[in-house]
Every structure is written in C-alpha cells, then in structure tokens.
Chain A
Amino acid sequence: MIRERYLNGLVLVLLLAVPLWALINDQPFTITLATRAAIFALAAVGLNIALGLGGLVSLGHAAFFGIGGYAMGILAYHAQTYTPVMELPFVIEGTKSMPIIWLVAMVTSGTAALLIGLLSLRTTGVYFIMITLAFGQMFYFFSISWIAYGGEDGLSIYIRNDFPGLNTLVPINFFAICFTLLCLVLFINGLVARSPFGLALNAARQAPQRVQTVGLDPQRLKLVAFVLSGVITGLAGALFADLNRFVSPTMFSWQTSGEIMIFVILGGTARLCGPVVGAVVFVMLEHALGGLSEYWHIYLGALLLLVVLFARGGLVGLISGRAVAHD
C-alpha cells in the first residue's frame, strides 16, 4: 500500500511528466490528451466537494460545466465579432482575456449553483439526484434553443483566448495553465477539508442531527459546499471550451454530468486526488479503446462496476487503503 499523500504526489508528477515527454518527442496530441485529463479532473474536483465532503449526489453538474463553457464562448464570440455582449442598461464588451473569462465563468456558475442548491437541497436521496438532473436538462434544452449562440450547432471560437505573457496556442503552455489551476484548486480543497467548515460539512453528511444539536445548520453548510463545487466545475468548463475552441449543448448534457460523476467514483469519492485518477484513467481508456471500438463505454462500464463492487474507496482506496482521518 502506498500512503495516499505519496500517491497524490505520484499522480500529479505523472500527469506533468507525460506532456513534458510528449513535448520532447514532438507529440502535440498527447499534450492535448493530458490537458483534457487535467480539465476533466478539475471539473471532478469540483463535484467531489459536493459529493465527497457534502454527500450531495448531483447529477446536474453539467449545468456548471456548460455555464463555464458558454461564459467563455459568449465573451470570446463577441470579442471576435467586435460586437458588445449587451448594450442596455450598460455596455458589456466581449473579451479574449482568460482571467476575466474565468472570473465570469466562476461567478455565473456559482450563482446558478446557489439558485439550484436552494431549491434542490429541500430534497434528499433519489429526489435530489432527479432534481439536479432536471436542472441540468433545463440548461441543455435552453442552450439548444438559443439560436443567437449557435443553438444545436454550438459556437466556434477561432483563436484561443489570451493569458498575459504566454502564447496559449502552444499546447504545452495551455497545459501548464490548466495543470497549475488544477494544483491550486487541489491545494485549496485540501485546506478546506481540514478547516472548521470542512469538519462541519463532513459531519453534516454523516450525522446531520448531531450538527444541529451543536447549533450549526447542516443545510446551509451543504449549500455553501454546493456553490463552491459549482464554481470549480464552472471554471473547468471555461477551460474545456478553450481547449476545444468550441462550445455546444453537449457540455450541458446529462452524459456530461454522468461522466464527471464517473471520474469521482472511479478514482475515489472524498479522496483528494480521486477525481484526478478517475479523469486520467477515463481519458486513457477513451484514447486506447475509443480507437478500437465505438462501444468502448462498455469497458468503462465494466471497470466502474468492478470498482463500485470491490473497491469502495475507488482506485485511490484500492491502492492506499481506507481514508485516514486528518491528523
């Protein structure tokens, strides 16, 4: 067994080493794959805060992923067509600046998470799953009907957005941006898990009655976790759109929600780097098996089944054993 801390380090070093190797050997497509894995991992780290710490089984996280994506798409589209996003009551211009796009993506997805959370958290269990799924579907159908931004066809962005001091069109540079953000968010996630908030949230998942009897509101703790979760998944959505230079309603689809959840469960729910392991394994399978068969999801399904049946802590749990409570 490898201590979880070392495993986490190993996973991140590997995720960094592969694109560096690809850079030296001139394999830009591999760098793109690693970038895809890092972005999926980030989206899943977001879900893991709601699902792992808060016990909130959200099947609607595509909503936040898509909002982040469309935040990028809409802002960049207006920048490339030199039209304002809106003129009344005040003028908002488009932008090609990544930091501004990220901020907008996080604020809008966080706001959506607040509203969705306020309504969904009245329910629990299977109803919570269904209501979050329903919200995700609402965004999906809304985006399909939003003709101004491509409707069903989505929006293409011709040039990747800018980051101060970097040529973002160079694959390794864009990977570096995504990887850095992933590490930063993981670091923050680690701190949150050890904070008074993390402690209370963790208890709210396991024994909500207890949390109430010490004078804390478990629902409010979960709502804040849900918003935090949505903000991170929204940021990942903006990066994903930038990676593909394309956004479409697919980002809002329930399959996207399902995949984000698969990353978390496959890697290990509530484990810090579980989402990273899950996303990396997913992208590897997608690449290795996707070429062989259109139906590669069958193998993914089988793997997921095995993990759920025989490794309750996901792949991280399989390698590092049960979670040690924070020291």
Chain B
Amino acid sequence: MTDPILATHNLQKSFGALKATDNVSIDLYPGEIHAIIGPNGAGKSTLIAQICGELKPNAGRIELLGQDVTHTNTLTRAKAGIGRTFQISALAMEDTVLQNVLLGAVGAVGSPWRFLFPVLADKLLYSKANDALKRVGLQGDAARRTSDLSHGQRRQLEVAVALTLEPKAFVMDEPMAGLGAEGSKTLTSFLDGLRDEAPILLVEHDMDAVFALADRISVLVYGQIIETGTVDQIRSSKAVREAYLGSDT
C-alpha cells in the first residue's frame, strides 16, 4: 500500500473543558476523496484548522508527505502543499476576482518581491490565474469586485484560489455551503475529476454530494471519529445512524 499524503495521529484539542478534537486519527491517500461529516459543532472546522496550521493541537501529530509538520505554521504547510478553502470565505473583498486568484498564483510561484513590474503583465501568473477561473466557471466574472459576488460565487472563488497553488492535498471546509442545487451539482462533478490531481479532505454538509463523491467517510461526533468506512458501510452503520444520520436514512 502507498503512503498517505496527509495524516493525523491521536490529535487532541480542547477549548477549556470542551474536547473539540478528541484523539482523532485520519488519513488521506493519493487519488481519494475522504469526507468528514458530523453535526454542527462536532469539531470539523477545528480539525481542519489544526491540519492547516492555524490552531496548535494540545497533543498528537500531523504528517504531510511523511514529514512531521505538527509544529510548523500555516505558511510552511501551504508551501509544503496544502491547498485550503475556508468555510467562511477569506478573500480580499475590495479586490477583483482576478486579483484574488492572482494572489494564489503569486504565492504558488513564490515571487511577491517584485515592486515595479505590473502583475498583469506577467504571462505565467496571468495564465495560471485565468486557468483556475475557467475551471470553476468564473472566467466571466474576472473583473468584478469580490464583494459584489454572490455567496455561491465566493465559494467557487475559494476553490479557484486553491487550484492555483497546485497543492499536494486539498483541504476543503464545506465548499458547497450556500451553493444551491445547481451549483452543488456542478461543483460535485468538478471535485470528482479533481481527485486525480490531488486527494481531497472534504468537510461537507451536503449528504448527496458526500455520498456521490467520497471514497471514504469519517463520522465526527463530539470531537471523536466514531466510524470510518466506505459510503455503503457508513450508510448501513447503526452507530452512525443513531448518532448522526437520524432515523430517516
């Protein structure tokens, strides 16, 4: 078996008395989409924040491409190959859509120390940015101000910025939230193809999307992974049904 691209080992994080991450071990293998589901407040975003280096775990280990990155910061992990999207869009709202993806391209190329050369005249940066916009279907909105975008379009832009980084692993926090049925469908089929470029750790509420996409699903409840398995295993798991999916499934 190949090695995982990304893995956590016995990760723990408490906020006061609340165990937001309770001994979580998950991994992400090449070519797969590993979905993390769980009710609101289960600790999904907290887990993602630790994986991306925004929050320090109290205990446990995080590995990226076999390297221990537990004590590195967001910056190092981004450079090492984590492509992250935020649940609450973190975009430069006063900038244009194109500028936001260009930022990704500048980061990917690692060249922010040019002061007198117009960023738009750099063909490499521009084509990287433009490609990413095309892939998520935002090329027609390139010149718009980001704050004028709809909620769903901002989600698409989040994905586009991550694409410019050509990461080793995508880590996405609820990319479908607020997209609407049509948007979810489009993004679902897009992510379906994306897993061949880099595996995706996908936190998602939209169950149709998760069941359509996931190779494996982990169920997080009160900070603990109560089960990991294929779509069918999770669907038929009694524990999961009781804890999370409810009686209607």
- What residues of chain A have their CB less than 8 Å away from a CB belonging to chain B? 188, 191-192, 194-200, 202-203, 206-207, 209-217, 221, 224, 323, 325-327
- Contact residues of B between 86 and 107, Cβ < 8 Å to A: 86, 90-96, 99-100, 102-104, 106-107
Q: Shortest beta-carbon distance, B134 to chain A, in Å? A: 19
Binding-face segment, B33-41, B112-120, B226-234: B112-120
Q: Does B247 contact A (CB under 8 A)?
A: no
Q: Are A210 and B75 in contact (CB under 8 A)?
A: no
B120 and A194 within 8 A (CB) = yes
- Give the docked Cα–Cα distance between A325 and B95 (Å): 6
B208 CB–A CB distance under 8 Å:
no
Cβ A195 vs Cβ B92 within 8 A: no
Q: Could you tell me if A199 and B91 are in contact, using CB atoms closer than 8 angstroms?
A: no
Query: Known contacts being A203-B92, A210-B90, is A216 close to B106, with CB within 8 Å?
Result: yes
Which of A197, A206, A221, A323 is B92 in contact with, Cβ under 8 Å?
Answer: A206
A-B contact pairs, 20 of them (CB 8 A): A194-B118, A194-B120, A195-B114, A196-B117, A196-B119, A198-B115, A199-B95, A200-B106, A200-B107, A200-B112, A206-B94, A207-B93, A210-B92, A213-B52, A213-B74, A214-B161, A215-B79, A215-B165, A216-B75, A327-B120
For B96, what are the chain A residues with a Cβ–Cβ distance below 8 Å?
325
B104 to chain A, nearest CB (A): 5
For B114, what are the chain A residues with a Cβ–Cβ distance below 8 Å? 195-197
CB of B84 within 8 A of CB of A199, answer no
A125 to chain B, nearest CB (A): 19
Q: Does B54 contact A (CB under 8 A)?
A: yes
Residues in A neighbouring B94, C-beta threshold 8 A: 202, 206, 323, 325
Least distance between B121 CB and chain A CB atoms (Å):
9
CA distance A68 to B43 in the complex (A): 53
Chain B residue with Cβ nearest A228: B115
Determine if B108 is an interface residue (Cβ-Cβ < 8 Å): yes
Sample of 12 more A-B contacts, CB < 8 Å, known A194-B119, A196-B114, A199-B119:
A194-B120, A195-B118, A198-B115, A206-B91, A206-B94, A210-B103, A213-B82, A213-B84, A215-B75, A216-B112, A325-B99, A325-B143
Most chain A CB inside 10 Å of its own CB: which residue of B90, B112, B120, B143: B112
Question: Which residues of B (136-180) have their CB < 8 Å from a CB of A?
Answer: 143, 145, 161, 164-165
Chain B residues in 8 Å Cβ range of A212: 73-75, 78
Q: Which of A195, A199, A215 has the most CB of B within 10 A?
A: A215
B2 within 8 A of A: no
Residues on B with beta carbons closer than 8 Å to the beta carbon of A323: 94
Bound form: Cα–Cα A65–B240 in Å: 66
A216–B108 Cα gap in the complex (Å)?
Answer: 9
Assuming the contacts A197-B113, A202-B92, A210-B91, asked whether A215 and B118 have C-beta atoms less than 8 A apart, the reply is no
Report the bound CA distance from A211 to B106 in whole Å. 10
C-alpha spacing A105/B116, complex, angstroms: 22
- Residues from chain A with a CB closer than 8 A to the CB of B91 are 206-207, 210
Q: Which residue of B is nearest A208, CB measured?
A: B90
Given contacts A195-B114, A196-B125, A199-B99, contact A214 B107 (CB under 8 A): yes
**B-side contacts of A211, CB under 8 Å:** 103, 107
Kindly name the residue among B106, B111, B114 whose own CB sees the greatest number of chain A CB atoms within 10 A.
Answer: B106
- The distance in angstroms between the C-alpha atoms of A327 and B119, with both chains bound, is 11
The verdict on B122 contacting chain A, using a C-beta distance below 8 Å, is yes
Q: Are A196 and B111 in contact (CB under 8 A)?
A: yes
Would A199 and B102 count as touching, CB distance under 8 A?
A: yes
Residues of B within 8 A of A325 (CB): 94-96, 99, 143, 145
CB distance from A268 to the nearest CB of B (A): 14
User: Inside 8 A of B102's CB, which chain A residues have their CB?
Assistant: 199
B16 at the interface (CB under 8 A from A): no
- The residue on A at minimum CB distance from B81 is A215
Chain B 19-56 residues near chain A, CB threshold 8 A? 52, 54
Across-interface contacts of B100 in A (CB, < 8 A): 203, 210
- A216–B86 Cα distance when bound, in Å, is 17
User: Do A206 and B95 touch across chains, with their CB atoms under 8 A apart?
Assistant: yes
For the complex of A and B, 8 pairs with smallest distance between CB atoms: A214-B107, A215-B78, A200-B112, A206-B92, A325-B96, A212-B74, A203-B92, A215-B79
Residues of B within 8 A of A327 (CB): 120, 143
Whether the pair A209, B86 counts as a contact (CB closer than 8 A) is yes
- Whether the pair A199, B106 counts as a contact (CB closer than 8 A) is yes
| Chain A, Cβ-Cβ closest to B161 | A214
List A contacts of B75 (CB < 8 A).
212, 215-217
* Chain A minimum-CB-distance residue to B107: A214
Q: What is the CA–CA distance of A146 and B39 in the complex, to the nearest angstrom? A: 66
CB within 8 A of B107: which of A192, A194, A202, A215? A215
Q: Tell me the bound Cα distance from A209 to B158 in angstroms.
A: 13
B164 proximity list for chain A (CB < 8 A)? 214
Do A196 and B122 have beta carbons less than 8 Å apart? yes
Q: Which residues of the partner chain B approach A215 to less than 8 Å between Cβ atoms?
A: 75, 78-79, 107-108, 110, 165
Q: Which residues of A contact B86 (CB under 8 A)?
A: 209-210, 213
Q: B103 to A192, Cβ gap below 8 A?
A: no
